[in-house]
């Protein structure tokens, strides 16, 4: 094995696809300290700047761990309180907490979509959705990005061959920041009797409490919303919102819910505290998003701004160039995305001045500012 792995690592380095981890010495937030360098962070999903905030009361009351899975003795009242609050913001009957969004998607998809069923999944969906589809025994069709006429055509011809049908999409796509037109998807779902599973990871607390709000849609019994706590909500973990029956079913059948340690209750407690701060900060973030979009002309409807560059090497050079000038904007390369890019995320913490500074540094590179060869 050793030689094969060594060869693979060499190959990644040659292709400019090698990755490594940077040890950050400061708490999460807009300023990061790596070694002696301090950087302005434009890569975080901590959209509302909540990740470094804490209330000691939560830790004092609940301790740091959870002791067991929810079904054994790891289910605390504060989990339930949070689930009810999350259901409220998603305008659903109920919700169920998961330990991560990755596990929520894996679990909900593979539990609901079984043999004889059909899954239609957007080609740019998050890796956890892709893996959830892989784990499911349903038939899978990956449709071109937001191409709902493709979805309709397929369903017209083939819907009758399947029992249940699931359409799965990110609401805010994580690498491009664009939004799925859920109003169109709702029509398809209703016309063909499908269930719509929406992943709100980058939407919750950024474009609204729920992506459905944006389109004036109300969730019904055929709507499932996956949300995460580790992004705008500032803590860790995830949840699935839908009908009370869905919650009941997942508790009984979903393996990624059943066979894992419960989210520590203090995290549920902290998330409840954070929820109180969401509304105000979200409005302020939206204003910053419009401001940044106007002067960069990067098309994005969320806090994620993709700056597409010609190749992996340019992405790395630009990222290094910005690093040397005090900006942390990592290069995102294949296989995470098809086209290499810098993925800029802006947060509630950034000032308009800082947003301008980043853009003028990028401008410097584009106008031939010398990037270090690597
Ligand atoms: C981050 C993310 C997830 C995974 O959530 P975690 O809690 O980080 O595991 C799932 N879906 C999308 C679209 C995401 O961006």
- The structural domains of the chain, with segments of one domain joined by +, span 14-50+278-365, 56-275
Ligand 1 touching residue 46 (CB < 6 A):
no
Within the chain, residue ranges assigned H as helices are 2-14, 56-62, 77-90, 101-112, 127-135, 148-158, 182-192, 244-253, 255-258, 265-296, 312-324, 352-366
For residue 199, the CA-to-ligand 1 centroid distance in Å is 8
Nearest CA to ligand 1 atom 10: 101
Distance CA 315, CA 179 (A): 24
Q: Which of 201, 204, 211, 227 to mutate to test the pocket of ligand 1 (most atoms within 8 A of CB)?
A: 201
- CA–centroid distance, 256 to ligand 1, in Å, is 15
| Helix ranges (DSSP H) in 122-264 | 127-135, 148-158, 182-192, 244-253, 255-258
Query: From atom 5 of ligand 1, which residue's Cα is the shortest distance away?
Result: 101
Decide whether any atom of ligand 1 lies within 6 Å of the 328 Cβ. no
Q: Give the atom of ligand 1 at the shortest distance from the alpha carbon of 172.
A: 13
Pocket of ligand 1 contains residue 228 by CB under 6 Å:
yes
Cβ-count burial 188-210 (b if 16+ within 10 Å, e if not): bbeebebbbbbbbbbbbbbbbbb
Interatomic CA distance for residues 347 and 286, integer angstroms: 9
- Is the shortest distance between the CB of 238 and ligand 1 below 6 Å? yes
First to last CA, the chain: 30
Which atom of ligand 1 is found nearest the CA of 237?
Answer: 7
What is d(CA 6, CA 27) in angstroms, rounded to the nearest whole number? 34
374 residues of the chain, pLDDT tens digit each: 999 999 999 999 998 778 888 899 999 999 999 988 999 999 999 999 999 999 999 999 999 999 999 999 999 999 999 999 999 999 999 999 999 999 999 999 999 999 999 999 999 999 999 999 999 999 999 999 999 999 999 999 999 999 999 999 999 999 999 999 999 999 999 999 999 999 999 999 999 999 999 999 999 999 999 999 999 999 999 999 999 999 999 999 999 999 999 999 999 999 999 999 999 999 999 999 999 999 899 988 899 999 999 999 999 999 999 999 999 998 998 888 889 999 999 999 999 999 999 999 999 998 875 544 44
- Tell me which fold the domain 14-50+278-365 belongs to: 3.90.1150
Q: Is 33 helix (H, G, I), strand (E, B) or coil?
A: strand
- So what's the pLDDT on residue 373? 44
Is residue 128 within 6 Å of ligand 1 at its C-beta? yes
Chain length of the chain: 374
Q: Which residue has the tokens 């804490």?
A: 54
Question: SS3 string of 285-298?
Answer: HHHHHHHHHHHHCC
- Tell me the C-alpha distance between 335 and 340, whole Å: 9
pLDDT of res. 369: 54
For ligand 1, atom 8, the nearest C-alpha belongs to 101
Q: What is the pTM of this model?
A: 0.95
Report whether residue 126 contacts ligand 1, using a CB cutoff of 6 Å: yes
- Ligand 1 in contact with 102 (CB < 6 A)? yes
Locate 356 and state its tokens: 């301008």
Kind of pairing between the strands at 118-122 and 31-34:
unpaired
Q: Can you state the percent helix, strand and coil of the chain, rounding each to 5?
A: 45, 15, 40
CATH class of 56-275: alpha beta
- Confirm if 240 and 96 have CB atoms less than 8 A apart: yes
Question: What's the burial of 292, exposed, middle or buried (CB within 10 Å: 0-12/13-18/19+)?
Answer: buried
pLDDT value for 372: 45
Spacing, Cα 236 to ligand 1 middle (Å): 10
177 lines ligand 1 (CB under 6 A): no
Q: Which atom of ligand 1 is nearest to the CA of 126?
A: 13
Ligand 1, atom 2, residue with closest C-alpha: 201
pLDDT of residue 22: 86
């Amino acid at each position: 094995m050793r030689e094969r792995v060594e060869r693979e690592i060499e190959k990644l380095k040659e292709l400019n696809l090698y990755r490594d981890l940077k040890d950050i010495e400061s708490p999460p937030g807009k300023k990061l300290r790596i070694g002696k360098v301090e950087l302005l962070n434009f890569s975080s999903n901590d959209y509302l700047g909540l990740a470094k905030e804490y209330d000691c009361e939560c830790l004092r009351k609940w301790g740091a761990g959870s002791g067991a899975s929810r079904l054994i003795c790891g289910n605390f009242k504060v989990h339930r309180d949070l689930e009810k609050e999350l259901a409220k913001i998603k305008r659903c009957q109920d919700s169920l907490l998961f330990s991560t969004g990755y596990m929520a998607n894996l679990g909900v998809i593979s539990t609901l979509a079984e043999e004889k069923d059909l899954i239609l999944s957007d080609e740019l969906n998050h890796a956890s959705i892709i893996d959830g589809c892989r784990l499911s025994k349903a038939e899978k069709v990956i449709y071109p990005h937001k191409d709902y006429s493709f979805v309709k055509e397929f369903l017209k011809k083939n819907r009758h061959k399947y029992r249940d049908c699931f359409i799965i999409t990110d609401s805010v796509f994580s690498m491009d920041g664009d939004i799925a037109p859920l109003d169109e998807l709702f029509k398809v779902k209703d016309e063909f009797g499908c269930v719509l599973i929406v992943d709100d990871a980058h939407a919750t607390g950024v474009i609204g409490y729920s992506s459905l709000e944006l389109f004036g849609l109300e969730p019904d019994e055929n709507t499932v919303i996956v949300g995460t706590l580790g992004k705008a909500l500032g803590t860790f973990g995830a949840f699935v919102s839908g009908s009370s029956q869905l919650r009941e079913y997942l508790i009984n059948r979903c393996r990624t819910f059943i066979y894992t340690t419960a989210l520590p209750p203090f995290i549920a407690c902290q998330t409840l505290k954070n929820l109180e701060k969401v509304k105000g900060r979200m409005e302020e973030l939206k204003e910053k998003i419009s401001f940044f979009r106007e002067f960069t002309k990067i098309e994005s409807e969320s806090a994620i701004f993709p700056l597409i560059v010609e190749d992996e090497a340019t992405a790395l050079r630009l990222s290094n160039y910005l690093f040397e000038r005090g900006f942390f904007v990592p290069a995102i390369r294949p296989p995470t995305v098809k086209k290499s890019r810098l993925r800029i995320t802006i947060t509630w913490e950034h000032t308009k001045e800082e947003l301008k500074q980043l853009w003028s540094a990028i401008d410097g590179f584009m106008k031939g500012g010398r990037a270090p060869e690597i």
